[in-house]
Structure 1
Amino acid sequence: MNDEQMAVIMPLIIFGGEAKSSAIEAIRAAKESDFDKADERIEAASKAIVEAHHGQTELLTKAANGEEVAVSIYMVHAQDHLMTGIAFVDLAREIIELYKVIAKK
């Protein structure tokens, strides 16, 4: 694992975690019927996912071009954070919509 790879992996971990945290904040805001804040936090979560995807795409491009990309526990951890973040954002969107439906009744 070299410094260049770590420079790509660490943002995956950071932005994946940020996405998850922002998604949870969005759900909590929706639970309190603060839908403006919920929408703002889910947008922040989505932006974090996009940032994380940049790093993932860089690694995939290198591998596709025949460059060796070492798989390490850091890489696995980074992918776990990204995928968990994506799942949380997707579920948060659905939960927010449910809270909006409930608030209309």
Structure 2
Amino acid sequence: MTETEQIIVGLISSAGQSKSLAFEALKKVKTGEYDEARKILEQAKEADLQAHTVQTKLIQAEMSGSGNKPEVGLLMVHAQDHYMTSQLARDLIEELINVFEAKEGK
């Protein structure tokens, strides 16, 4: 595995962790544990930030014009898919927490 492929796998891993934590937060909503859900969602945001940092480095490498331009292959597309869906899940679950918490009058 090349260094770039390892970096891309790191992006997939961070995005997957973010998405997993977001759904864990949603489970806390089912039991009314809103404070715990928000704490877990903050962990998801931290994992998402790690993914974003990797993505930014890859974009910068591509735009640098140097010979270190990452290859856009199926692995890169897969990584971007994971990253985008993790962001969507996290944002949607954050809004669901707000909706359910407001519904309970908290």
- Runs of 5+ unmatched residues, structure 1: none
C-alpha deviation, 1:3, in angstroms: 1.4
Residue type of the partner of 2:99? L
Deviates more, 1:66-75 or 1:91-100: 66-75
Residue type of the partner of 1:53? H
In structure 2, C-alpha distance between the alignment counterparts of 1:83 and 1:91, rounded to whole Å: 12
Aligned residues with identical type, % of pairs: 36
After superposition, give the CA deviation of every residue in 1:5-63 in whole Å (9 maximum; x if it has no partner).
Answer: 11210111111111111111111101211012101111011001100011101110011
The list of structure 1 runs, each at least 4 consecutive aligned residues, that deviate by more than 6 angstroms after superposition, is none
After superposition, give the CA deviation of every residue in 1:62-105 in whole Å (9 maximum; x if it has no partner).
Answer: 11111322011111111111000000010011000011112217
Q: Which residue of 2 aligns with 1:96?
A: 97
Q: TM-score when scaled to structure 1?
A: 0.92
Deviates more, 1:64-73 or 1:9-18: 64-73
Q: Which residue of 1 aligns with 2:9?
A: 10
In structure 2, C-alpha distance between the alignment counterparts of 1:22 and 1:64, rounded to whole Å: 32
Check the 8 A contact 1:11/1:52 in 2, yes or no. yes
Q: TM-score when scaled to structure 2?
A: 0.92
In structure 1, C-alpha distance between the alignment counterparts of 2:53 and 2:2, rounded to whole Å: 17
In structure 2, C-alpha distance between the alignment counterparts of 1:45 and 1:69, rounded to whole Å: 27
